[in-house]
């Protein structure tokens, strides 16, 4: 999802961490032309502007960040798609290949190929996912699948109903007793570690005993409960798979959290998800007792933390959660991996439940369709959304700013390049 970027500061207002944006001035001039960084370099050249004047000026006219701050991956990607200098070679970027061998990047964890139509290299990361939620999957010299923090898939409709018969009773305690000493990570035994301390033992029986005759509503059948100790850094967060219609719940403790992301400015813990399809995503603290009084309203798309946050569409503490906890909503989130920070402050410290759910995308927003501004108008129409429903929905799915705030020049430029109504 493309967001209009700028300097970022974080503040707390009314119980939520709110991001304040500071606009930047448009640049250009001497940063465009020979002697500057490569326009086509995959991932960007790390400096303002680039070495092809025509390409540089065109990209910066649509996105001043590229000349004012840094020619980053978004700028480079735009150049590769629209600049002649990047379409058949040119600089040190991904152009100019004739065979797959020309694209070998020396990384054993990528599949390297040449797109003969464009002359550009494609270096795709190897997918090491083994489908097991109890492993962390990554590539070093090849795929590695290491056991992660304890993970639980609780089938019951009540907290503690490990035999899934709809009641929390002595049968559940007996089922746990029969498994004392077993390792709680696996399809069959994970759910019996009901207190999530990494062992199936008398403490789990006591947990169930305390809930005899009571049906707490979480977790339910489509909820994975990932039990873990303090995760103080996003790099240590197990990445949980998340499909449409599912919820992943993490049980955590942020008592000893520290500041590991300076851009957030507050002590935090981390959890991560791998979203399998575009979705409307909700994160929440529902089930945390006592309720937390504060929460971040951002997602982080990269790790280590970059500060290039994705901001919430909306949030509430009186509708989604019935217990006074915060719920934060991200509409139209593209598929991919995201890292979610949990705030620690004087109102939000201790044991918590962190839920992440994915729902099918809602229909096109009301700002999409006849009666709204012109989708194709050069420079944008100055209002949210535009008059062609299909074009508007497609552009806003990739950049919610265009429907939430304003159909500006970046939105119009994207429409002119990809929407039939503008071609």
Average pLDDT along the chain, 423 residues, taken 10 residues at a time: 34 34 38 91 91 91 90 89 68 59 81 79 82 67 64 57 80 87 60 72 85 64 54 89 86 89 94 93 90 95 93 90 92 94 94 90 80 94 92 88 91 93 91
Helix (H, G, I), strand (E, B) or coil at 276: coil
CATH 2.60.120.380 domain span(s) along the chain: 228-359
Say what the alpha-carbon torsion angle 106, 41, 337, 286 is, to the nearest 10 degrees: 150
Helix (H, G, I), strand (E, B) or coil at 327: strand
Q: How far apart are CA 391 and CA 373, in angstroms?
A: 12
Q: How far apart are CA 41 and CA 59, in angstroms?
A: 14
pTM: 0.45
Helix (H, G, I), strand (E, B) or coil at 412: helix
Q: How far apart are CA 368 and CA 392, in angstroms?
A: 5
Q: Is the previous residue joined to 96 through a cis bond, with omega within 30 degrees of 0?
A: no
Determine whether 372 is exposed, middle or buried from the number of CB atoms within 10 Å of its CB (0-12, 13-18, 19+).
buried
pLDDT given for residue 16 in this prediction: 39
List, in order, residues 6 or more apart from 8 with CB less than 8 Å away: 19, 20, 21, 22, 263, 307, 309
Classify strands 247-253 and 268-275 as parallel, antiparallel or unpaired. unpaired
Q: How far apart are CA 135 and CA 172, in angstroms?
A: 27
pLDDT given for residue 96 in this prediction: 61
Q: How far apart are CA 423 and CA 420, in angstroms?
A: 5
List, in order, residues 6 or more apart from 89 with CB less than 8 Å away: 95, 96, 119
pLDDT given for residue 128 in this prediction: 83
Residue 228 near residue 250 (C-beta atoms within 8 A): yes
Assigned fold of 228-359: Jelly Rolls (2.60.120)
Q: How far apart are CA 159 and CA 206, in angstroms?
A: 13
pLDDT given for residue 229 in this prediction: 63
Q: Which residues pair with 124 in a beta bridge?
A: 111
Half-sphere exposure of 205 (CA within 13 A, CB side): 13
Q: How far apart are CA 296 and CA 315, in angstroms?
A: 10
pLDDT given for residue 151 in this prediction: 43
- Smallest CA-to-CA distance from 175 within 158, 188, 157 is with 188
């Amino acid at each position: 999802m493309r967001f209009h970027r700028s300097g970022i500061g974080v503040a707390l207002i009314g119980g939520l961490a709110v991001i304040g944006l500071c606009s930047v001035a448009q640049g250009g001039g001497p940063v465009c032309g020979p002697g500057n960084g490569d326009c086509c370099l995959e991932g960007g050249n790390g400096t303002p502007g680039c070495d092809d004047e025509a390409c540089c000026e065109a990209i910066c006219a649509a996105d001043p960040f590229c000349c004012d701050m840094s020619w980053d991956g978004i700028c480079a990607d735009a150049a590769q798609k629209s600049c002649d200098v990047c379409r058949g070679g040119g600089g040190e970027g991904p152009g100019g290949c004739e065979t797959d061998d020309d694209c070998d990047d020396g990384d054993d964890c990528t599949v390297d190929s040449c797109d003969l139509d464009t002359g550009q290299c494609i270096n795709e990361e190897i997918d090491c996912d083994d489908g097991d939620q109890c492993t962390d999957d990554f590539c070093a010299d090849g795929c590695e699948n290491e056991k992660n923090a304890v993970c639980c898939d609780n089938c019951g409709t009540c907290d503690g109903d490990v035999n899934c018969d709809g009641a929390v009773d002595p049968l559940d305690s007996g089922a746990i007793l029969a498994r004392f000493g077993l390792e709680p990570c696996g399809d069959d035994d994970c759910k019996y570690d009901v207190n999530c301390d990494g062992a199936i033992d008398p403490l789990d029986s006591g947990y169930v005993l305390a809930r005899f005759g009571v049906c707490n509503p979480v977790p339910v059948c489509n909820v994975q409960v990932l039990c873990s100790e303090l995760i103080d850094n996003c790099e240590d967060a197990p990445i949980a798979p998340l499909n449409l219609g599912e919820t992943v719940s993490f049980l955590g403790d942020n008592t000893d959290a520290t500041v590991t992301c300076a851009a957030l400015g507050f002590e935090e813990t981390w959890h991560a998800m791998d979203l399998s399809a575009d979705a409307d995503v909700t994160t929440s603290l529902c089930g945390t007792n006592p309720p937390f009084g504060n929460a971040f309203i951002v997602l982080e798309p990269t790790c280590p933390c970059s500060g290039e946050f994705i901001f919430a569409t909306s949030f509430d503490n009186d509708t989604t959660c019935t217990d006074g906890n915060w719920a934060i909503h991200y509409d139209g989130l593209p598929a991919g991996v995201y890292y979610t920070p949990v705030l620690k402050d004087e109102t939000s410290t201790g044991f918590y439940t962190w839920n992440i759910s994915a729902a099918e995308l809602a229909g096109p927003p009301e700002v999409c369709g006849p009666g709204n501004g012109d989708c194709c108008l050069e420079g944008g129409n100055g209002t949210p959304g535009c008059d062609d429903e299909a074009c508007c929905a497609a552009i806003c799915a990739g950049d919610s700013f265009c429907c939430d705030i304003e159909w500006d020049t970046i939105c119009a430029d994207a429409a002119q390049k990809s929407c039939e109504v503008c071609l």
